[in-house]
Amino acid sequence: MTKVEQSVKDELVQLDKKHFIHPTSNMKQLQEDGPAFIFTEGDGIYLKDVEGRKLMDSLSSLWNVNIGHGRKEIGEVAKEQINKLAFTSTFNNWSHEPVIRLAAEIAEWAPGDLNATFFTSGGSEANDTAFKTVRHYWKVMGQPEKKKIISRKLSYHGVAMGATSATGIEQFHTFTTSIAPDFHYVDSSIEALKELIEKEGADTIAAYISEPVQGSGGVNLPPEGYFQEVRKICDEHDILFIADEVICGFGRLGTNFGIERFGVTPDIITMAKGVTSGYAPLGGMIISERIHQEIIEKTEGNFWHGYTYSGHPTAAAIALKNLEIIKNENLIEHVNVVGKQMLEGFEWIKEQHDNVVDVRGIGLLGAIGIERASESVDPIGPKVVAEALKKGLICRSVVYNGQDTLAFAPPFPITKEQMDEMIIIVNESIKAVK
């Protein structure tokens, strides 16, 4: 790739500052510094930018480009579908082949009897869909007062009104002044969950939602045996269990869905990101046969919920190809192999540095925890990220809520050699900022 002309770069920076509002960003800093990267191309685990830099993408962009960048087969499928039928609605009784085939394929991937999917454009809409659906479900089941949603502290469920209300990270709540009623947050202990249910009353609670491994909150693994206990408690109290698989779904944890790692079958799965590996915006809610049948039988009139892009034909065709690639290339098996290598690498890093206090991960989702004396002390993670960038690696630091964590979720096809390179760069970057 040739470097982009300086005048073009300058123009792009000016236009970006004036016209483009970046999601989840520091607006003042962007006005001062401009965008850190203006990307031009992606190839495998690498991204290229206008400076002509080739950078290893250790977070699969936003935990989503799971099959890696620049897969031409997906481009071919997208082109073919757009030329044939780019879009038609699926409202009411309209349908089309890509969405039918995708819904059937997802039923094959999903655990237990989770067999029916409602499609959205992303994860936030998937979670809002789940919250509205569980309330509708309890209403038609004759218990309309069951409408509260329980989520975990440090969870991230997205930014639509329901999704942001379920998110257990305070900054997202203060941004919007107030959040929706009937959302409750709980510490990640069984005791805390039991206490909350006791306090609120099970007959007012519709559902419990959790990511199998919390992503944006800092790659936090659940306590040992936690989800199995949660499943039992939900069953005892008629509370539906929603697994938010937006990051963990479709192989990230080395299983089809992340929750399977913990030996539990939820009632509902929400998903997005990995279903298309980011090649098109798509998400959805997968529900159990039982819930599906109850809703069909007991709903008078319409299911009053639908997005223009619920079941977008091009996005569906892309998802089908993406899932085929994951299967045909045995990428989930590979995730387990390189995931193990990543964790061993993190352990090795921990041995080199006194301030690395905790390393954790499952499959290709991992983190390095750095000791931080207090919230008033500058975190080290952002400095490590800056060092890594000089050495050709993009990685992410999580610093809110007193944490100092480096998060990793590389694309599935990362080779053993590339993983070694990633580990070495991370180690040298930590060394450089000490």
DSSP state of 221: P
Long-range contacts of 393-396 (CB under 8 A, 24+ apart): 393/55, 393/56, 393/58, 393/422, 393/425, 393/426, 393/429, 394/37, 394/47, 394/55, 394/56, 394/57, 394/58, 394/59, 395/58, 395/59, 395/426, 396/58, 396/59
Between 216 and 310, CB nearer to ligand PMP = 216
Does 157 bind ligand PMP (CB under 6 A)? Our answer is: yes
Binding-site member from 46, 109, 119, 156 for ligand PMP (CB under 6 A): 156
Beta bridge partner(s), residue 117? 286
Does 135 bind ligand PMP (CB under 6 A)? Our answer is: no
Residues 252-266 as b/e (b if ≥16 CB within 10 A, e otherwise) read: bbbbbbbbbbbebbb
Between 110 and 356, CB nearer to ligand PMP = 110
Between 272 and 315, CB nearer to ligand PMP = 272
Binding-site member from 44, 98, 123, 162 for ligand PMP (CB under 6 A): 123
Strands 183-186 and 396-398: unpaired
Q: How far is the CB of 283 from ligand PMP (least distance, A)?
A: 6
Among 291, 295, 269, 273, CA closest to 282:
273
Does 186 bind ligand PMP (CB under 6 A)? Our answer is: no
Q: How far is the CB of 158 from ligand PMP (least distance, A)?
A: 3
192: exposed, middle or buried (C-beta count within 10 Å: 0-12, 13-18, 19+)?
middle
Q: How far is the CB of 396 from ligand PMP (least distance, A)?
A: 11
Task: Kindly indicate which of the ranges 84-92, 118-126, 383-391, 400-408 contains the residues binding ligand PMP, using the contact rule CB under 6 A.
Answer: 118-126
Closest residue to ligand PMP in the complex (CB): 123
Does 122 bind ligand PMP (CB under 6 A)? Our answer is: yes
Does 128 bind ligand PMP (CB under 6 A)? Our answer is: no
How far apart (Å, rounded) are the C-alpha atoms in residues 272 and 285? 9
Task: Kindly indicate which of the ranges 188-196, 241-249, 299-307, 345-353 contains the residues binding ligand PMP, using the contact rule CB under 6 A.
Answer: 241-249
How far apart (Å, rounded) are the C-alpha atoms in residues 79 and 318? 10
Instruction: Identify whether the C-beta of residue 361 lies closer than 8 Å to the C-beta of residue 408.
Output: yes
Does 254 bind ligand PMP (CB under 6 A)? Our answer is: no
Task: Kindly indicate which of the ranges 3-11, 136-144, 152-160, 301-309 contains the residues binding ligand PMP, using the contact rule CB under 6 A.
Answer: 152-160
For helices 123-140 and 289-298, what crossing angle results, to 10°? Answer: 60
Beta bridge partner(s), residue 119? 284
Binding-site member from 110, 114, 150, 247 for ligand PMP (CB under 6 A): 247
Within 270-299, the residues that bind ligand PMP by CB under 6 A are: 272, 283
Q: How far is the CB of 255 from ligand PMP (least distance, A)?
A: 16
Strands 240-244 and 268-271: parallel
Between 293 and 401, CB nearer to ligand PMP = 401
How far apart (Å, rounded) are the C-alpha atoms in residues 171 and 422? 31
Among 356, 127, 342, CA closest to 253:
342
Binding-site member from 211, 260, 267, 387 for ligand PMP (CB under 6 A): 211
Binding-site member from 215, 249, 284, 411 for ligand PMP (CB under 6 A): 215
Residues that bind ligand PMP in the complex, under the rule CB under 6 A: 122-124, 127, 156-158, 211, 215-216, 244, 246-247, 272, 283
